[in-house]
Amino acid sequence: MWRVWCESVRYLSVNELEVLISHEQIAGRVAELGKQITADLSGQPVIFVGVLKGAAVFLSDLVRKVQLDATFDFIGVTSYGNPSQQGNIWDSTGEVRLTKDVDRSLRDKNVILVEDILDTGLTLTFIKRLLWGHQPKSFRVAVLLDKPSRRKLAVEADYVGFTIPDKFVVGYGLDYAEQYRNLPDICVVPAVG
């Protein structure tokens, strides 16, 4: 049913989107995650590594709720393949490619990877393998959203903002064809067809 969207992208106006998680709920949960990370790292410095572009908004709010010496960096990844021939534009093909590596060494550092959403797990599995290669001192994963019902590979995050049902969502950094990243709430894109 979502496939229809790939053939011709139609942008919905913001008032056609149903709010799933409000900006107030997001702010409350992000503050809790920041507190939990602060406690877990118990005074040690940390590097947050955000996955472009979806995690940029979450990372910028999360780091301001963490009371530790913190720096941040970004990586970029993309999936191979032509999505329009494969079906859904957000389905990972499983062939993930790095488009931007971290700028600074992660060796012997406490690293927290920050991702917008954990879906099939293909992207996170690739990134985890990649970042472990940098030999960090510790490695944790924080995701704003988790869609466990779509998991193809057994991978979990250490910090999860919200567990959501199998719906396509946008806002607070998440996009549909690069649109809607700046919505303050997490909204559901309705299925069509």
- Contact with ligand IMP (CB under 6 A): which of 34, 50, 121, 136? 121
Residue 116: which residues within 8 A CB-CB, separation 6 or more?
A: 51, 54, 55, 58, 143, 144, 145, 173, 174
**The two three-digit tokens of residue 27, written as one number:** 């702010």
Which of 50, 54, 171, 173 binds Mg ion (CB under 5 A)? It is 54
Closest CA to 134 of 93, 167, 166, 106: 106
Number of residues that bind Mg ion (CB under 5 A): 2
Residue 136 is a binding residue for Mg ion (CB under 5 A): no
**Contact region with ligand IMP (CB under 6 A), list: 6-14, 17-25, 119-127, 134-142:** 119-127
Assess 90 for contact with ligand IMP (CB under 6 A): yes
* Cβ atoms within 10 Å, residue 18: 12
174 binds ligand IMP (CB under 6 A): yes
* Residue 119 annotated as catalytic: yes
Matching residue, tokens 């590979």: 153
From the list 5-13, 28-36, 46-54, 78-86, the region that binds Mg ion by CB under 5 A is 46-54
| Secondary-structure percent of the chain, ordered helix, strand, coil, rounded to 5 | 25, 30, 45
Give the chain's count of helices (H) and strands (E): 5, 9
- Annotated active-site residue in 61, 69, 73, 119: 119
Applying CB under 6 A, the residues found at the interface with ligand IMP are: 54, 90, 92, 115-124, 168-170, 174
Task: Report, as residue numbers or ranges, the catalytic residues.
Answer: 119
